[in-house]
Structure 1
């Protein structure tokens, strides 16, 4: 059963995972207002992340979106996370980005 709700899109944005005091540069490849799928940096391959991990997502809006997320699943070098802490303004920024993609008729999944 697929429990995802709302619009999501395949994307290619830089995202940093802040793990053990280090910034690990990753890529967001799927995004929704409630979570994302991340292609992990080689240094994070095969590592279990903490129950709640800080991330900084760069949508190119002038400042990174800071959030905390909980791992949902991982396969190979991909990690899906659900956002658990994020400002309402940043959640709106993501939703507006997805809405703009829909208006440009870019694929939403």
Structure 2
């Protein structure tokens, strides 16, 4: 059991980092495809996509980084990730477009950094 929790936490950190990257790609492609080509607005700009993404990011970061903070007693990964989640939440409060993309990208970079710090503390 002692090795199971760090293994699960490490997996969740890696999943969180991948999802952060996918989210950033979604934001950039969304702007390029929708603004540049006028295609896919309904799918790329659907607020539900962003809400579900924030929910997934919050759950994964909360579990993985929360467990990590308890294990290694360092607040930095948790604080960095929570600031990132705050930026992502703020992106839901603005209209679709550049502002939303910038807030989201800042947020996912910080969440990914929190996961990275969490993994490094474990190693």
| TM-score (normalizing by structure 2) | 0.29
Instruction: Determine which structure has the larger helix proportion and give its number.
Output: 2
| More strand, by proportion | 1
Q: Which has the larger radius of gyration?
A: 2
TM-score with structure 1 setting the length: 0.31
